[in-house]
């Protein structure tokens, strides 16, 4: 009986956790080129990089549009470029694009790989032509940028050569002056090193890995017999390891037919994948975004989403939805009939809590942001000589939120906490006590003076 009650309680808690979190749409903008997109957080705002896909357009069009949106979803700047963007990185106010350019005068040098550095106005500051700055046998057989990052003040990159199949690792200074090849024979990416170690220790395939502080999260995705959806078996799971690579928990992803993205922040683990295994070129390819915490609890499921790429910071989730129908898998389809309209979307995962002191002097201490439904405790401390006159909590529309015993429940909205401090009133009893004590001390001082002057010794 106790076991049954415990199971019911656990289920009840899980249900409450699952529905406690709400995603709030911050803004939505139309994507320029649906086939490929890259989403980044940049300068307290967002960068969306829409680029054509060489396979879908037969290599005839090389086009990238870079759009910067500020924190309010406005578009101060956008630029078009004649290249395909494969990867991108943000470093302060610099934006690095890893691109392929086209050489119409030399068909043998079509795979021209460049790193391009843009400034905060999206103007090109510097670029480096990779193919002509590396010493390998087939420099123009480089196929794609597989992985890029910034480590120890250098850009590191992994590039794959098409024929023969070889993987190269390179390091580039951030000024884009020099490029050197790493010939150690090992990956220079920490995640890949950890992934290889875990594969050797656990014998599990790892599709993707993410590091957050001293925690590692792996995404396992192993499809078997998937040429036919009726016989397809998917072995997919999320696993978390501690800093010593000890397994903390594992969750099977039973409903996924294909898995695409794994992103993490300090609070959440987010995975996107396809949950509909029906191969139908006329049907849009939709999946689920699932959100877990670091205890392996399911926090939220967003169903029926067409999400190409995901990006995550501490407060928001970006993804591009639409534009990726299953017909895109065929290079021979008419792409104009395949692509649906695509949108860049920014969702708030948590909501801001701001404070202001309307009058007097004091301090308000509270967490800077929280989930919808989370219980919040506020510490309000007047400065010396002041006391709290009034404290109110309101949402973004000015509606008052119940605030009792310095606690409130976080709504699905940003919150403002206002406090008014007033001069502390003097207690009348305390004032009388101070006066009485002063009089007694004065009388005692007079007695001492008189005794000393008359040289009279007090009787013991």
Higher-confidence position of 392 and 43: 392
CA 306/CA 450 separation, integer angstroms: 97
When pLDDT is averaged across residues 142-161 and rounded to a whole number, the result is 90
The answer to whether residue 6 scores a pLDDT higher than 70 is no
Instruction: Identify the helix (H) or strand (E) that includes residue 288.
Output: strand 287-292
| DSSP assigned state of 387 | E
CA 226/CA 224 separation, integer angstroms: 5
CA 317/CA 311 separation, integer angstroms: 6
**Of 55-69, 361-375, 407-421, the least confident:** 55-69
Higher-confidence position of 74 and 277: 74
The answer to whether residue 454 scores a pLDDT higher than 80 is no
Closest CA to 205 of 165, 167, 259: 259
CA 229/CA 248 separation, integer angstroms: 33
- Say whether the peptide bond before residue 367 is cis (omega within 30 degrees of 0): no
Tokens of 425: 């009133």
When pLDDT is averaged across residues 178-192 and rounded to a whole number, the result is 90
CA 38/CA 47 separation, integer angstroms: 8
The answer to whether residue 417 scores a pLDDT higher than 80 is yes
| DSSP assigned state of 334 | -
Torsion-angle region of 213 (φ positive above 0: left; ψ -120 to 50: alpha; else: beta): left
CA 207/CA 256 separation, integer angstroms: 14
For residue 176, the model assigns a pLDDT of 96
Strand order across the 233-241 sheet: 208-212, 215-224, 233-241, 247-252
For residue 385, the model assigns a pLDDT of 92
CA 80/CA 341 separation, integer angstroms: 19
Alpha helices in 2-158 (DSSP H): 2-20
CA 316/CA 48 separation, integer angstroms: 15
Question: Which pTM was predicted?
Answer: 0.76
**What does the pLDDT look like over 211-264, one tens digit per residue?**
888 899 998 887 777 677 677 777 888 999 998 999 999 998 887 777 878 999
| DSSP assigned state of 313 | -
CA 372/CA 387 separation, integer angstroms: 31
CA 47/CA 121 separation, integer angstroms: 12
Strand order across the 369-370 sheet: 369-370, 351-359, 415-423, 386-395
**What does the pLDDT look like over 327-382, one tens digit per residue?**
443 433 444 445 556 788 888 888 889 999 999 999 999 998 888 888 999 999 99
Residue 335 · residue 324 · CB < 8 Å: no
Phi and psi, residue 121, nearest 5°:
-100, 10
∠ CA 412-316-419 to the nearest 5 degrees? 50
The answer to whether residue 12 scores a pLDDT higher than 80 is no
| DSSP assigned state of 329 | G
Q: How far apart are the first and last CA of the chain?
A: 80
CA 425/CA 28 separation, integer angstroms: 53
Closest CA to 256 of 303, 215, 196: 303
Name the pLDDT band for 127 (thresholds 50, 70, 90). Answer: very high
């Amino acid at each position: 009986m106790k076991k049954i009650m415990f199971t019911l309680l656990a289920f009840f808690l899980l249900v409450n956790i699952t529905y406690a979190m709400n995603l709030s749409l911050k803004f939505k903008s139309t994507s320029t080129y649906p086939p490929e997109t890259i989403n980044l957080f940049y300068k307290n705002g967002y960068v969306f990089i829409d680029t054509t896909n060489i396979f879908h357009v037969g290599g005839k069009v090389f086009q990238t549009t870079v759009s910067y949106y500020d924190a309010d979803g406005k578009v101060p700047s956008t630029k078009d470029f004649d290249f395909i963007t494969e990867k991108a990185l943000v470093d302060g106010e610099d934006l690095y694009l890893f691109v392929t350019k086209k050489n119409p005068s030399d068909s043998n040098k079509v795979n021209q790989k460049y790193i391009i550095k843009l400034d905060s106005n999206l103007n090109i500051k510097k670029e480096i032509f990779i193919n002509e700055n590396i010493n390998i046998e087939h420099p123009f057989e480089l196929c794609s940028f597989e992985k890029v990052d910034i480590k120890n003040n250098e850009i590191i990159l992994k590039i794959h050569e098409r024929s023969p199949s070889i993987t190269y690792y390179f390091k580039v200074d951030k000024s884009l002056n020099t490029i050197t090849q790493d010939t150690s024979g090992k990956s220079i990416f920490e995640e890949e090193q950890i992934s290889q170690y875990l594969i050797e220790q656990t014998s599990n395939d790892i599709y993707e890995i993410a590091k957050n502080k001293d925690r590692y999260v792996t995404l396992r995705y192993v499809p078997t017999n998937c040429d036919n959806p009726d016989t397809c078996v998917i072995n997919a799971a999320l696993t978390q390891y501690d800093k010593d690579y000890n397994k903390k928990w594992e969750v099977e992803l039973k409903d996924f037919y294909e898995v695409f993205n794994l992103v993490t922040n300090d609070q959440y683990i987010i995975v996107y994948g396809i949950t509909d295994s029906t191969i139908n070129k006329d049907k849009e390819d939709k999946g689920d975004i699932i959100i877990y915490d670091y205890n392996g609890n399911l926090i939220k499921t967003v169903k029926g989403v067409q999400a190409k790429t995901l990006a995550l910071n501490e407060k928001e989730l970006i993804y591009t939805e639409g534009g990726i129908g299953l017909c895109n898998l065929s290079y021979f389809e008419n792409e104009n009939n395949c692509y649906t309209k695509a949108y860049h979307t920014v969702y708030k995962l948590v909501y801001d809590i701001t404070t202001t002191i309307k009058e007097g002097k004091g301090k308000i201490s509270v967490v800077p942001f929280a989930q919808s439904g989370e219980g919040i405790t506020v510490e309000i401390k007047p400065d010396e000589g002041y006391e709290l006159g009034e404290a109110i909590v309101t949402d973004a529309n000015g509606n008052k939120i119940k605030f009792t015993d310095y606690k409130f429940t976080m709504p699905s909205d940003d919150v403002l906490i206002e406090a008014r401090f007033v001069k502390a009133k003097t207690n009348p009893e305390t004032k009388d006590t101070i006066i009485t004590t002063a009089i007694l001390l004065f009388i005692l001082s007079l007695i001492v003076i008189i005794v000393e002057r008359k040289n009279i010794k007090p009787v013991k």
